[in-house]
Amino acid sequence: MEYLQWLTPYLERYSYSIIFVSTLLDGLLIPAPSQILLISASLMAARSNMNIYLVLLSAWSGAMIGALLGYLLGHSAGRKWLLYYGKRLKLINETQISRIEHYFHRYSSGLVVIFSRFVDPLRQLISFIAGMLEMPFQRFIFYTTIGATSWVIVWGAGAYLLSAHVPKLFSLIKEAEPNLIGIGVAALLITLLYWLWRRRQRQRSIKKFYHH
């Protein structure tokens, strides 16, 4: 439990505010130990050192506000930043961004928002990306609420209810996390390659149609 115990003094000193701030920062492209803090606070609540309802509320409200701010940041400046640095580094242009935006909207963007809540560093990036790619605000809030609520229930309420088994389970999950990230990236790449293949097939079909 060493990886959880080192956070205990911070929780004792800053209480629920550090949970709120860490989960808020997660939505603003700033890596923070929000997940470990949530688990640690829930374990402390299981020992009657904190109030589990305030722990869950602090984490959920911080996650929602952070996601909202991240979305607004991405929506207002993300595209400009990406175009500015992308063009200077010759990595991406407006046409490519439009294609990515189309892909994001068409292929289960809501599920991506929910799934990303459970994976570092996607949790820090997804709100900004959703805003940058102009995901409809109501749709973003809907899926973010599902993702944030699920995340708080799994890691907060789950840790509280299964406090005796959480340290070992959390250790196993942390060991498997690089593989989960790899699987997620691989799935996105496979989906992207499939989309590109479908797009090429459609273009060939159009050319054949006009030739005939």
Q: In this predicted model, what pLDDT tens digit does every residue of 123-178 receive, in sequence order?
A: 888 888 888 888 889 999 999 999 999 999 999 998 898 876 655 655 655 665 56
Contacts of the segment 135-141: beta carbons below 8 A, 24+ positions apart: 135/71, 135/104, 135/105, 135/109, 137/71, 139/109, 139/110, 140/71, 140/113, 141/68
Q: Is residue 192 part of a domain?
A: no
Q: In this predicted model, what pLDDT tens digit does every residue of 6-34 receive, in sequence order?
A: 778 888 889 999 999 999 999 888 888 89
Q: Is residue 173 part of a domain?
A: no
Q: Is residue 120 part of a domain?
A: yes
Look at residue 54 in the predicted model and tell me its pLDDT.
97
Look at residue 30 in the predicted model and tell me its pLDDT.
86
DSSP 121-132: THHHHHHHHHHH
> Is residue 78's pLDDT more than 60?
yes
Q: Is residue 132 part of a domain?
A: yes
Look at residue 135 in the predicted model and tell me its pLDDT.
85
Q: Which domain holds residue 107?
A: 2-164
Of 170, 160, 179, 186, the residue nearest 49 (C-alpha): 160
Q: Is residue 32 part of a domain?
A: yes
Q: Is residue 151 part of a domain?
A: yes
Q: Is residue 149 part of a domain?
A: yes
**What percent helix, strand, coil does the chain show, rounded to 5?**
85, 0, 15
Q: Is the pTM of this model over 0.85?
A: no
Q: Is residue 137 part of a domain?
A: yes
Q: In this predicted model, what pLDDT tens digit does every residue of 96-134 receive, in sequence order?
A: 556 656 656 665 678 888 888 888 878 888 888 888 888
Average predicted confidence (pLDDT) for the chain: 78
Q: What total number of domains does the chain contain?
A: 1
Count the helices and strands in the chain (H runs, E runs): 12, 0
Grouping H, G, I as helix, E, B as strand and the rest as coil, residue 18 is: helix
> Is residue 91's pLDDT more than 70?
no
DSSP 165-212: THHHHHHHHHHHHHHHHHHHHHHHHHHHHHHHHHHHHHHHHHHHHHH-
Spatial distance between the Cα atoms of 109 and 121, rounded to a whole number of angstroms: 17
Look at residue 147 in the predicted model and tell me its pLDDT.
95
CB atoms within 10 A of CB 188: 13
Of 86, 138, 84, the residue nearest 110 (C-alpha): 138
Distances (CA, A) of 92 to 24, 159, 197, 198: 30, 42, 20, 22
> Is residue 62's pLDDT more than 70?
yes
Average pLDDT score over residue span 201-209: 61
